[in-house]
Every structure is written in C-alpha cells, then in structure tokens.
C-alpha cells in the first residue's frame, strides 16, 4: 500500500468525520438569536412574515418544516437590528414547528416556532360531502407538485458537494504524481 493511497484514505476519513459532526453550538448563540412569525397562527398556504433579532450581518435565512422554502432575511447590520423576510406555509401540515435561522456563518436551531392550523381547524366544522364545483379535485394536486418543484438542495447539500469535489481533486492529483515518479 503506497503512501499516496494512505494519504487519500486519511483525507477521506477526515472529511467524513468533519461533515458528519454538527458544528458546536455555544449557549449564548441560542440565547441571542430569536425568530418570530406573523401571524402567530398561520393557515395552510398563507404568507407569513419572519423577523429575527440577534444576527450580525445584513442577510440570513429562516427555515422550518412548515415552510414551502426558506425565508430569505435582509436588514441592517448589528445585533440590535432586525432581519426580516417572507415565505409561505406548506399544504398538508398542522401543528407547531421549530424554526432554524442561518446567520453569522452557522445555524441557530430552535430559536422560534410557527403554529399551523390545518384545514377545518378552528372552525368546528369538517366537510361532509364533496362540493360540486368542477375540476375533479385536481387543484390541490397541482399546487403540491409546484411546491415540490420549488424545494431544492440546501446549504448542507452544497457544502457536502464541495467537500467531495475537493477530495476527488486531491485524489486525482496524488494519483498523477504517483504515476510520474520513476520506479
């Protein structure tokens, strides 16, 4: 087993360990960053405003399992100012969901919640028969397909892809150096 092969395996193991381990969070990170959603209780498909305090910088993102996609946050720099953005509530969800805010170069998990009321919730009435309005009930299916198309790979996927591309480049470079050496 050559030294290059050992080096490539060592780099691969180090990358797997680094990518698999979540970044360490300090106690003050979670206490400083806070997210608030308006309206407090959102309906399916509703547009919601997300406001975040405690982030340095002028941009960030807020994500949740209840959102169709991350809310892109913008605002003035400094911990005293607020970043804000908008997003929509996904169809087919109900209950309370945690919000994760990414700013200052790392994620802040569970810094807020969003409550979603499902179809028929809060009205005390549930549908008892189909409505004769035409369309055959296909409208909810088309909106769900459009939402699925909007969701894509996130920051974590991009970082993993870049790390794997870097490891592949190192492996190719080491292999070409090994072939050039006279034996």
8 A C-beta contact, residue 66 and residue 116: yes
Q: In the chain, what's the furthest Cα-to-Cα distance?
A: 82
Whether 8 maps to a domain, the answer reads no
Inside any domain, residue 38: yes
Q: Which residues, in sequence order, are CB contacts of 94 under 8 Å at separation 6+? A: 116, 117, 118, 121
Whether residues 62 and 116 fall in one domain? yes
Q: Answer whether residue 68 is part of any domain.
A: yes
Is the domain of 55 the same as that of 102? yes
Q: Is residue 127 part of a domain?
A: no
CA atoms of 169 and 3, how far apart (whole Å) = 17
pLDDT at 135: 56
One domain for residues 77 and 42: yes
Residues 159 and 117 in one domain: no
* φ/ψ bin of 105: left (φ > 0), alpha (ψ from -120 to 50), beta (otherwise): left
Statement to judge: residues 81 and 30 lie in one domain:
yes
Count: domains in the chain: 2
Within-domain flag for 49: yes
- Give whole-number Cα distances, 136 to 126, 130, 147, 148, in Å: 19, 10, 20, 21
pTM comes to 0.50
Q: Is residue 12, in this structure, part of any structural domain at all?
A: no
168 in a domain, yes or no?
yes
**34 and 104 housed in the same domain:** yes
Would the CA dihedral through 149, 155, 160, 163 be positive or negative? positive
Between vectors from CA 39 to CA 37 and to CA 44, what angle results, nearest 5°?
100
d(CA 169, CA 172): 5
Q: Residue-wise pLDDT tens for the chain (183 aa)?
A: 555 554 555 555 544 445 554 444 444 444 589 999 999 899 999 999 999 998 888 899 999 999 999 999 999 876 678 999 999 999 999 999 999 999 878 899 999 999 999 765 444 444 455 555 555 555 555 555 555 445 567 788 888 889 999 999 999 888 888 777 665
Q: Give the domain range for residue 178.
A: 154-183
Residue 137 burial (CB < 10 Å; 0-12/13-18/19+)? exposed
Instruction: For residue 43, report the phi and psi dihedrals to the nearest 5 degrees.
Output: -95, 160
Q: Are residues 175 and 88 in the same domain?
A: no
Q: Is residue 126 part of a domain?
A: no
Token pair 């790979």 is found at 153
């Amino acid at each position: 087993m050559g030294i290059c092969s050992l080096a490539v395996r060592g780099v691969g193991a180090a990358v797997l360990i680094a990518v698999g381990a979540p970044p360490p969070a300090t106690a003050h990170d979670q206490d400083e960053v806070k997210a608030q959603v308006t309206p407090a209780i959102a309906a399916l498909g509703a547009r919601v405003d997300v406001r975040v305090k405690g982030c340095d910088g002028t941009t960030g993102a807020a994500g949740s399992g209840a959102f169709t996609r991350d809310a892109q946050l913008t605002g003035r720099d400094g911990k005293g100012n607020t970043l804000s953005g908008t997003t929509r509530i996904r169809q087919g969800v109900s209950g309370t969901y945690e919000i994760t805010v990414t700013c200052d170069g790392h994620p802040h998990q569970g810094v807020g919640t969003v409550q979603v009321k499902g179809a028929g919730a809060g009205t005390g009435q549930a549908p008892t028969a189909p409505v004769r309005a035409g369309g055959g009930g296909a409208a909810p299916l088309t909106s769900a397909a459009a939402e699925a198309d909007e969701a894509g790979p996130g920051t974590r996927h991009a970082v993993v892809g870049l790390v794997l591309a870097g490891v592949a480049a190192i492996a190719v470079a080491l292999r070409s150096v090994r072939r050039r050496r006279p034996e």
